[in-house]
Structure 1
Amino acid sequence: MSFPEPVNEVMRLCVLGTQAEYAGRPDEAAEFYRQAWRAACDDYEACLAAHYVARIQDSPELALHWNEIALARAESSQDERVLPFYPSLYVNLGRSYELLGHMQQAEEFYRRASELGLDHDNLNLGTIR
């Protein structure tokens, strides 16, 4: 199966980071994601990069911070390409809040993701029902 070429530098760096991450090279992945963040030129690209930077954080607090940045940049974006990110952004925020023991906020974000068609139970994420 072939995949389309990434359309911009931020996307290219995130793809390279994901490939490194799944190949078991987390430090390399982290560097690609940080490069993507530095290369972001608009809210859409910043949303995309922050979404991936959140994945490499060592603490739930830092992951929450980056997930909040990703959502804020998505909400600021006028680019329609950001719309498919919302379910994943909401699940990631829900998971961050859950890991920090903030169950009410976690439930709210899981609900938002579910309303957009992404059910966290099917992804084996979270414990809130």
Structure 2
Amino acid sequence: MTDQMAPGPTLTRIVEAVRLGQTGRAAEAREQLTVLWDEIGPAGDALHRCTLAHHLADLQDTPDAELRWDERALAAVSEVTDERARRHLPSLEVRALLPSLYLNLADCHRRLGNPGPAREHLDRAREHLARLPDDPYGEMIRAAVRDFDADDPTDHRRR
């Protein structure tokens, strides 16, 4: 038995587009997610906006574009309540999303040659590590934070 509940039509569409991107069809996935972003709108479900922006960042061609989507994901997560997140995944704590979101922002800034903001976001990621689950995902993020080098623009481990 799984802890995850049925994702609903919007999250299903997000997951389908992400999978499409993982098969090498990034442009098509990016287009689908962009259309869905427009459908959701700025006042739409914050969990949907956060999830979509987080994944759409990974499909961008430039660090500048990734950064804009990662910033949207972080902005949206501030509007997600634990109650809303738990309707998707009963054990999910919103704050457990923050290390990954901050790590992605740090990565973008590092690749853009901005070590100061990269370190600031990395510090924020570290502040929230205790919220990560004790599972392979949590360990992956903890390892990425431990191994991150804010001054090395060639190191781009996105999470």
TM-score class normalised by the smaller sequence: 0.7 to 0.9
Following superposition, which runs of at least 4 residues in structure 1 exceed 6 angstroms of deviation?
Answer: none
Give the equivalent residue in structure 2 for 1:73.
76
How big is the shift at 1:83?
A: 3.1
How big is the shift at 1:111?
A: 2.0
Change in 2 beyond 3 A, CA 1:96/1:17: same
TM-score by length of 2: 0.66
Q: Which moved more, 1:49-58 or 1:93-102?
A: 49-58
State the alpha-carbon separation in 2 of the partners of residues 90 and 127 from structure 1: 14
State which of 51, 56, 63 in structure 2 corresponds to 1:53.
56
State the alpha-carbon separation in 1 of the partners of residues 3 and 23 from structure 2: 18
RMSD (Å) for aligned C-alpha atoms? 2.5
Q: Percent identity?
A: 28
How big is the shift at 1:45?
A: 1.5
Greater relative contact order (Cα < 8 A, sep 6+): 2
State the alpha-carbon separation in 2 of the partners of residues 5 and 19 from structure 1: 19
| Structure index of larger Rg | 2
Give the equivalent residue in structure 1 for 2:33.
33
Q: Is the 8 A contact 2:17 2:33 kept in 1?
A: yes
Give the equivalent residue in structure 1 for 2:106.
94
State the alpha-carbon separation in 1 of the partners of residues 10 and 105 from structure 2: 22
Give the paired residue count. 125
User: Structure 2: any 5+ residue segments left out of the alignment?
Assistant: 86-93, 130-140, 152-159
